[in-house]
Amino acid sequence: MDLHLQNKIILITGGAKGIGAAIVRQCAGEGAIPVIADKDAAAAALLQHELRQSSAQSEFTPTELTHAQACKAAIDFTLQKFNRLDALVNNAGINDGIGLASGSPERFLASLERNLLHIYNITHYALPALKQSRGSIVNISSKTAVTGQGNTSGYVAAKAAILGLTREWAVELLPDGIRVNAVLPAEVMTPLYESWLAKFPSPQEAKARIESKIPLGHRMTTAEEIAATVVFLLSEKSSHTTGQHLFVDGGYVHLDRSLT
């Protein structure tokens, strides 16, 4: 299927690794030009080298997203390079375990800076360019936004807020023809997820226990499956879809657990 993304400029935050890297790869595979906004220059360099092997074009702008001016700089870099921006994927975030009892007001605020504030900041600075291109925005939330998890108040507050902002921005940007949607992953094997599993006495047993609760196929969702949904939402093929929350999780959140 041709998604008509050829030469579209798509900025992806946290695009150097994990789900973000999968989104970068699929955008490039559709002929788009992904711009990676990430603080991990080494991971970004490896990803760009991989893309060059298939003659795909990409750009990297080193970005510490917790700083508003760095978010502005990422947008400025993109516009100076291409003079346009067609889509924005707000992907960056980390489940940092800042709980109610185990955290503190200061650590909670820092978690919001890592997981929420940059989404407003970079979208704010991207907005004039997205209005010109009548572009698209996809926000990456999490199943924890609707299920809770325990001991991760900052992350959950941010991911739930992202769902609210998705609906709010979809309404605000209707006159500009800008579509705004959210994707909610659940159990996806990424470097961060592997690090979390490694904390268990038997990571393989923990993984098997989690997979047994996923109705469709009793397996984790792949980063590529998340990316495929994101790229579809960025494309003209979803031209009448806005303000939606899409769960790409093998039925993990909504299907009856007795099925497992």
**Where in the sequence numbering do the catalytic residues fall?**
155
- Measured between alpha carbons, how far is residue 14 from residues 24, 43, 158, 184, 213 in Å? 10, 10, 16, 16, 28
Say how many residues make up the chain: 260
**Phi and psi based region of residue 98 (left: phi greater than 0; alpha: psi -120 to 50; beta: remaining):** beta
Q: How far apart (Å, rounded) are the C-alpha atoms in residues 202 and 19?
A: 25
- Measured between alpha carbons, how far is residue 253 from residues 54, 165, 196 in Å? 37, 21, 20
* Residue 102 near residue 144, CB atoms below 8 Å: no
> Where do the H-state alpha helices sit in the chain?
18-29, 41-53, 68-82, 105-112, 118-133, 144-147, 153-172, 191-197, 203-211, 223-234
